[in-house]
A and B are shown apart, each in its own frame.
Chain A
């Protein structure tokens, strides 16, 4: 059942696997995360506490975990895909009952030592589950709408739970990633068009189910000036911080908007603003450049993979990563409504970082096992 040759699924020695790891990608991840440490140090007014040190420790653990994930045989990951999805779904549901709230939303489960945010895990698990599902289906099968019921559930059940927390940003992100995977798996394009039209038709109905503050956020986004001291305040202050950074920025730890607390949540959602204020357009471009390189590596790995599973996992993770970046940066620039999405690898936050590194671990895993052919079904 299992074969151990280099090209037909032979077992690869640990040393061999270590050599196969895409170390450039690892270095890029570390570089990007370092920008985060530097900014967290600044956000605390030149202190390692309370954010920078903790973030560094988590990152250290996360990197080890990432390498560990990369080393495990890809077939095991594929086998675990549904289990992982099921577990994360149960955790997500548990938030409903045992979750702890912050800022009007229930998003965390307290695990004593740290708070777990299941929505972060479910995003990765969803990618695994979809990849496994589509891997096991032929092109003809995917053309049959009946076969889309299960993957649609894989996307919309967690998305609905996340929406209920309420966490609009993550829900949108999940649907978008799901859509990307559907698209890559070969679902007909006209079906997407149908869904989009349906979604547009559903907007008036969906509007009624939004919380008042969510509606307010969207309205505020459309016209931030209407409430400059209320909901529009964050957007305006963030734009002021960005714009006043100029070409080269105000200098490290010299950002007045950030230091004087005009920026809300500067260590998490608005950390890009802070970076742009202190290091200017040049600094912001540097980070975006790093992100771009990471994305290119993600695409390269996907295109190099010989298995549909590997390709779907690689681009699923990469697209998740991209959407994080896009939603966060577009949000702080005032291009889209304020939704609580962190800037990947840079924002302060435990689960998000660990989940993301777990995702990168899977990406590296795909690279390590890029030449392995996987059977259509594991039961074969």
Chain B
């Protein structure tokens, strides 16, 4: 009986077990289905999302900076190029003992104390497989010394980058501008700009056409593992190199002109009067763009900023000066074109003229005697032009100034371009709430007062007078370059500015007289080489406003003034006189008289320009450039 009862219990246990086992099995099957469901969701439904994530994990895109487009002059001389920049890289993982390695490396190349500590610090901080820059800008000699010793330098590799290089140093610094590291404010989101050693144009042509020079970034797809170690390169796209640009400059002439300006704070522009091509555009003193590309040091930078002669300013386009007597050409043409005066117009100069109680002096105290237009220009008689200006009136003068390019923009696309200034009655009323005074018209007649012009504008003015009256515009690029880098030849069929030939001839004859006739103000700067003679006009402007307003001082006039207060010397010229081809404008800040300081420079520059004219001699022989600086060695 007891045995039977026991038996029953055993059966009960088995049944209970079976029931509960089924329940447990069901639960486990349910949980397993849950896993399969989730797996299905991850691997089938949502798979694409994770495929992308896995790929992003795996592939790092490394941008490759394309070589920057180069800059050439009109004859194909490279004036901004890219130099191989060799750098020593250290991979700690392979080097093991970094201290010893640095010591060994110091015996082969120079490593500064600063670099030394930086490398040790980086080695301690960064992951062992991340390359550390030891030094850049290695010379080829240093590179080869490292290569030779390579077996004893584990973990050391040479990397090749590119560095902007300007073989002509200072002479075209202002035009070329420079490149430098991208600042925070310049970040546009373009990943190329975020490359650690990427440089962009900051000034001049480098800045104006930066987008063309930059090219299109290449990319290297690198497979990386979870800690970022590079496993292999998957794909490589070299990108598109930046576009090269040809300038209108003749680098030889540019260099000549720059050095001819010497230590003066001065500027000179040489232009082809028909095409507007700028053959030289020098501003002195200048700076070396290489300093910027290499990362300018604080001392050099401070030196540039503190220099009274403003080496960072491109005076050819950003320097605004009262044109002085060079402006008399505008007054001449305004008078002749309006018919108010004729070339035979005569005025007697006693050294001054008066309006009401105000007295206006001629530069020649004793007076010039009776002057007609030709002599008035030749001897730059102020009294003659006071008279003409008074008769012609400000409005006609202003209109003619604008037609000739003064007070209007002549854009080259460079940074800091100024458009000069030509005052009008309306302007004065609006600006000062005062009526325009008759006396002010007289002052304007000799290019003083409010009138301002840049050397570029003076060159354009000269060109427009002597080129047959075409509204030539200055050109710095040999081709008009579109946004895609394609170029079309620059337009040279400039519209007529509507000045009669008779008027222009009278003006030109006067300018020829200035240089080539007795008593001409620039007689001492006559070009004697046959067929290369120049004509021109001197100018001396009182220092009221100069390129930097704070340097302006009073109107006191004497020879013993400090440099800052001396008059500016100006000269506009053209050559050759029989069939003009080149126009030139020169300003020497605080140089004294135009005939003394500016005309001799113009003479030399115009002479050199004509000597280098390829239509005159074989172009190749004219390419006798001074040896460019800094050729490796």
| Interfacial residues, chain A to chain B (CB-CB below 8 A) | 138-140, 180, 183-186, 237, 239-247, 256-257, 259-262, 276, 280-281, 284-285, 288, 291-292, 295, 299, 302-303, 306, 308, 311-312, 315, 319, 322, 325-326, 329-330, 333, 335, 376
Contacts and interface: CB of A to CB of B under 8 A. Distances in A.
Given A244-B47, A308-B14, A281 B40 contact: yes
B226 interface: yes
A242 B42 contact: yes
Contacts, number: 138
Given A256-B57, A256-B58, A243 B13 contact: no
B20 A239 contact: no
B46 interface: yes
Interface of A is mostly: helix
Nearest to A312: B17
Contact of B43 (A246, A261, A319): A246
Interface stretch (B48-56, B125-133, B213-221, B611-619): B48-56
B227 A261 contact: yes
A246 B44 contact: yes
Interface string B1-19: 0000010011011101110
Contact of A186 (B6, B16, B223, B224): B16
B225 interface: yes
Interface of B: 6, 9-10, 12-14, 16-18, 20-21, 24-25, 28, 31-32, 34-36, 38-40, 42-44, 46-47, 49-51, 53-55, 57-58, 223-227, 231
Given A308-B13, A322-B28, A184 B39 contact: no
A260 B58 contact: yes
Nearest to B24: A180
A35 B13 CA distance: 39
Which interface residue of B12, B32, B55, B231 has the most chain A CB atoms within 10 A? B32
Contacts of A319: 24, 28
Contacts of A260: 57-58, 223-226, 231
A120 to B, nearest CB: 21
B37 to A, nearest CB: 10
Nearest to A298: B25
A247 B43 contact: yes
Given A281-B44, A302-B21, A333-B42, A262 B35 contact: no
A295 B27 CA distance: 12
A306 B13 CA distance: 11
Contact of A299 (B16, B21, B40): B21
A234 to B, nearest CB: 11
Contacts of B9: 138-140
Nearest to A330: B35
Contacts of A261: 225-227
Given A244-B53, A256-B54, A260-B226, A186 B17 contact: yes
Contacts of B14: 306, 308, 311
Contacts of B43: 242-243, 245-247, 276, 280-281, 284
A154 to B, nearest CB: 19
B50 A242 contact: yes
B28 to A, nearest CB: 5
Given A257-B57, A261-B225, 18 more contacts: A139-B12, A139-B16, A186-B16, A242-B42, A243-B51, A244-B55, A245-B47, A256-B54, A260-B57, A260-B58, A260-B223, A281-B40, A288-B32, A292-B32, A308-B10, A308-B14, A319-B28, A335-B35
A311 B38 contact: no
A306 B40 CA distance: 40
Contact of B57 (A140, A240, A303, A325): A240
Contacts of B32: 288, 291-292, 295, 322, 325-326
Lowest 3 CB-CB distances: which A-B pairs, in order?
A: A243-B50, A244-B54, A260-B225
B137 to A, nearest CB: 36
A242 B35 CA distance: 13
Contact of B13 (A186, A259, A325): A186
Contact of B46 (A185, A243, A284, A335): A243
Contacts of A284: 39, 43
B255 to A, nearest CB: 57
16 contacts: A138-B9, A139-B9, A183-B24, A239-B50, A242-B42, A243-B49, A256-B55, A260-B223, A261-B226, A262-B225, A281-B43, A284-B43, A299-B21, A308-B17, A315-B21, A330-B35
Contacts of B49: 243
B4 to A, nearest CB: 14
Contacts of A257: 54, 57-58
Contact of A183 (B20, B39, B40, B227): B20
A188 B533 CA distance: 124
A180 B20 CA distance: 9
A166 B223 CA distance: 38
A367 B162 CA distance: 78
Nearest to A241: B54
A312 B24 CA distance: 12
Contacts of B39: 242, 276, 281, 284-285, 288, 329, 333
Contacts of A315: 21, 24
Given A260-B231, A261-B226, A281-B40, A311 B17 contact: yes
Contacts of B53: 240, 243-244
Given A139-B12, A139-B13, A262-B57, A243 B31 contact: no
